[in-house]
């Protein structure tokens, strides 16, 4: 049996966002706008960062993942400011790929770039569904993280299951927490072109919270 690895492009672009691997110049933005913010890290399985050096180490870890073809972490860079507005993660274990997104703590930026952020995510998902060895795309959302659940649905992923005690939540002082799994499964019939067109014209903030 031939073993297949996932090798995504290292750059996607839309009029407002450049999607590319993290680099050391992102350290301050990553620390200040994401990983030092307790609200942003509340639903994550990693502790809130206390110093920029931790965020720099995280970038090095992400880059090692790229080199090993085990983890691909993209920074979503705002063309206007040059700062990160999102972090998109791919964890391949073919035939499945896990995806995840963290967005900036700045609500005004998220509102202004909601459509551009969703477009950047859709560009990556479009590439994934075109890969012949990808048969399942899924996101594991904290069961209480409405923003993450809204984004998963926005990308066309469908609710599959709730898994109890799946992941630690160090910032909530919980040894384990429940997640909701959202999936796209080949033949990806519910990720048709007309659906993508509809999604690209809809702001994230307009979507309802209920499944």
Residue among 9, 1, 3 nearest 130 (CA): 9
| Residue spans of alpha helices (H) in the chain | 27-30, 38-41, 52-68, 107-112, 114-130, 146-154, 193-200
Mean pLDDT of 165-182: 96
Q: What is the pTM of this model?
A: 0.87
Q: Where are the domains of the chain?
A: 12-197
Burial of 81 (C-beta count, 10 Å sphere; 0-12/13-18/19+):
exposed
Strand partners, 76: 19, 86
User: What distances in angstroms separate CA 40 from CA 12, 22, 82, 102, one per listed residue?
Assistant: 24, 18, 20, 8
pLDDT band at residue 190 under the 50/70/90 scheme: low
Residue 98 belongs to what H/E stretch? strand 96-103
Residue 34 has pLDDT above 60, yes or no: yes
Residue 211 has pLDDT above 80, yes or no: no
Average confidence score pLDDT of the chain:
88
Strand partners, 101: 88
User: What distances in angstroms separate CA 30 from CA 15, 24, 37, 176, 178, one per listed residue?
Assistant: 22, 10, 10, 26, 26
4: tokens are 């297949």
Cβ atoms within 10 Å, residue 120: 25
Residue 91 has pLDDT above 50, yes or no: yes
Asked if 123 and 131 count as a contact pair (C-beta separation under 8 A), the reply is no
Looking at the domain 12-197, which fold is it?
Aminopeptidase (3.40.630)
- Give pLDDT tens digits for 71-83: 999 999 999 999 9
Q: What is the pLDDT of residue 164?
A: 97
């Amino acid at each position: 049996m031939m073993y297949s690895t996932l090798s995504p492009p290292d750059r996607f672009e839309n009029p407002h966002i450049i999607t590319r691997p993290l680099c050391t110049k992102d350290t301050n933005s990553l620390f200040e706008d994401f990983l030092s913010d307790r609200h942003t890290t509340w639903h994550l399985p990693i502790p809130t960062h206390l110093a920029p050096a931790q965020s720099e180490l995280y970038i090095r870890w992400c880059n090692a993942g790229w080199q090993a073809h085990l983890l691909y972490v993209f920074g979503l860079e705002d063309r206007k400011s040059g700062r990160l507005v999102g972090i998109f993660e791919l964890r391949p274990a073919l035939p499945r790929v896990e995806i995840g997104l963290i967005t900036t703590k700045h609500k005004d930026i998220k509102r202004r770039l909601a459509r551009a952020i969703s477009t950047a995510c859709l560009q990556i998902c479009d590439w994934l569904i075109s890969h012949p060895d990808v048969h399942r795309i899924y996101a594991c959302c904290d069961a209480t993280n409405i923003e993450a659940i809204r984004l998963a649905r926005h990308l066309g992923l469908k609710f599959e299951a709730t898994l109890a005690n799946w992941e630690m939540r160090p910032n909530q002082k919980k040894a384990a927490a429940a997640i909701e799994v959202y999936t796209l499964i080949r033949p990806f019939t519910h990720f048709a072109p007309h659906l993508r067109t509809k999604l690209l014209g809809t702001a994230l903030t307009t979507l309802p919270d209920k499944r």
